[in-house]
Amino acid sequence: MPDRPTRRELMKTTAALAVSAAAPAAESALPKGEIGKLKISRLMLGGNLLARYTHSRDLKYVYRLAEHYNTDEKLLETLALAEAHGIDTLAVHPDPRTMPVLKRHRARGGKIKWILCTEPPEAAPVEGNLDAHRRRVADLVEQGADALYFWGVRADQLVKAGKMDLLAKAVEVMRATKLPVGMGGHALATVVECEKAGIDCDFYLKTLHHHDYPTAPRPGQAADDFREFPGYWCGKPQETVEFMSTVKKPWIAFKVMAAGAIPPQNAFRYAFEKGADFVLAGMFDFEIADDVQLAKGILADLPNRPRPWRA
């Protein structure tokens, strides 16, 4: 009898078959836009699941479930499927577990673009530590970033502390790389104050989701910009939509599904109709094909979109 294939061989075969089956989907490509000089698909792959992280509120077992499901090999399959279906860009926190997988994907010929977050908690310029920030930015460029964005949690903190000069200096460090540079944020005030101060970024990565889901905050509960309990990451959706309609920079909307509480059909339409130029969505491998088809259908039918495309 011939030798039985190893588990690794089976996984490689499965991944190859999955990509082959998905190839026809790429023929009708996802619409694209530009941030700086970088052309990217309007539906992008979110990074939390790539880092085995989920905002699962008090369902602690889900964290372990995601970590056990998204093995390195499964993530490689996910990246290949995303590309085969026309998703050509991801945005991710470049943690030590995720980056080796992304590099392996590129070594195998993968072309998906990386928008990397600059600021881990231990290397942020909240206390004026621009040297750590400068080293971090240089490291991300060396690793192969196609674009950079300033971590939204840290940006929110700097804006609340009134440290716009420090934020501007941090962005200057990023701009020196000649890559597209974005500003992340959960707080609407982050975008508002960056616009007032003329912060020189190419795009915003700002949360957007409505509050029409069972575990959404009730009236008066959304006092913060984001919270895990009740779970929300855009405290002021209508105000966000209204202000972003005045912003001329491209807008990547993230947390559009409120960490899985809103179905993608509803979430994607809401985000694109309300003005987002791109949607960043966390997806397991088995969700990619359906989500891409949903996005294509929605992007082809947006009669109620008032904000001009900014990318």
What tens digit of pLDDT does each residue of 177-206 get? 999 999 999 999 999 999 999 999 999 999
Tell me if 27 is assigned to some domain: no
Mean pLDDT of 120-135: 69
The per-residue pLDDT for 221 is: 82
Q: What is the spatial distance between Cα 227 and Cα 224, in angstroms, rounded to a whole number?
A: 7
Q: What count of Cα atoms within 13 Å lies in the side-chain half-sphere of residue 229?
A: 3
Tell me if 49 is assigned to some domain: yes
pLDDT tens figures, 80-119: 999 999 999 999 999 899 999 999 999 999 999 999 999 7
The per-residue pLDDT for 226 is: 76
Three-state DSSP class for residue 18: helix
Q: How many domains does the chain have?
A: 1
Min mean pLDDT across 31-40, 44-53, 155-164 is at 44-53
What is the span of the domain harbouring residue 151? 32-299
Tell me if 170 is assigned to some domain: yes
The per-residue pLDDT for 11 is: 47
pLDDT tens figures, 138-165: 999 999 999 999 999 999 999 999 999 9
Tell me if 278 is assigned to some domain: yes
- Domain harbouring 137, CATH code: 3.20.20.70
> Residue 7 burial by CB count (10 A; 0-12/13-18/19+): exposed, middle or buried?
exposed
Tell me if 86 is assigned to some domain: yes
- Whether residue 20 is predicted with pLDDT greater than 70 in this model: the reply is no
Tell me if 206 is assigned to some domain: yes
Q: Which tops the pLDDT comparison, 69 or 59?
A: 69
Query: In Å, how far from its chain's centre is CA 242?
Result: 22
| Closest to 124 in 3D by CA, of 153, 92, 160, 85 | 153
Three-state DSSP class for residue 309: coil
Tell me if 23 is assigned to some domain: no
